[in-house]
């Protein structure tokens, strides 16, 4: 009977000994220490990457404007504003275009202004004529929206991934290209935020 108890104890000790050997090997390599090949450990090389900074370059027909340099004399807010309006309504701010998309947006805005200029100069501005002028540029009618905004006609074009919106009246044409909205779908501004 004592032989059976000893065999049972030995069998129970075997799994415990195996687990302790496995556990003793875990965690001996620290982040940043070299491995046998001289390369940093996986934990040290898995640093979070910074988001890529978009690169803007002069687009065809665009004259580069110098970037204003901040100086020590530039006044700045001494404390953060107490009003969180801008923070709470940031979801309604359009996303800027960068790189080649920015150039595509500048070209689209110029084409749109050229197409709407005859309407402005002849004071023939209504949602139907503006829509016809915009669809004549090749934008599908389903992606062009025009609407009356006294004394102007507003327009929105969903040429995904490019969005263009603006207005035309007898005095000026305004058009802006952007990349959609942070919390919106397509080129429509979202109705609610966070």
Confidence grade of residue 9 (pLDDT, cut at 50, 70, 90):
low
Write down the mean pLDDT value for the chain: 74
Task: For residue 152, give Cα distances in angstroms to 9, 76, 114, 158.
Answer: 92, 37, 17, 20
Q: Is residue 152 predicted with pLDDT exceeding 80?
A: yes
pTM exceeds cut of 0.85 = no
Rounded to whole angstroms, the Cα distance separating 113 from 134 reads 10
Question: For the residues 168-186, what does the mean pLDDT come to?
Answer: 88
Q: Are 169 and 151 in contact (CB under 8 A)?
A: yes
């Amino acid at each position: 009977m004592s032989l059976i108890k000893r065999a049972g104890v030995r069998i129970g000790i075997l799994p415990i000994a195996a687990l302790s050997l496995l556990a003793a090997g875990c965690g001996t390599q620290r982040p940043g220490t070299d491995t046998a090949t001289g390369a940093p450990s996986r934990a040290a090389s898995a640093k979070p990457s910074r988001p890529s900074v978009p690169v803007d370059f002069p687009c065809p027909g665009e004259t580069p404007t110098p970037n204003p340099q901040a100086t020590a004399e530039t006044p700045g807010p001494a404390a953060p504003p107490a009003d969180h309006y801008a923070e709470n309504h940031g979801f309604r701010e359009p996303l800027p275009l960068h790189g080649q998309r920015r150039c595509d947006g500048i070209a689209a805005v110029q084409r749109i202004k050229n197409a709407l200029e005859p309407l402005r100069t002849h004071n023939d501005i209504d949602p139907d004529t503006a829509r016809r002028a915009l669809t004549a540029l090749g934008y599908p009618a389903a992606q062009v929206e025009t609407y009356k905004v006294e004394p102007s006609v507003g327009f929105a074009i969903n040429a995904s991934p490019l969005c263009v919106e603006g207005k035309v009246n007898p005095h000026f044409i305004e058009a802006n290209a952007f990349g959609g909205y942070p919390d919106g779908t397509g080129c429509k501004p979202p109705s609610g935020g966070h």
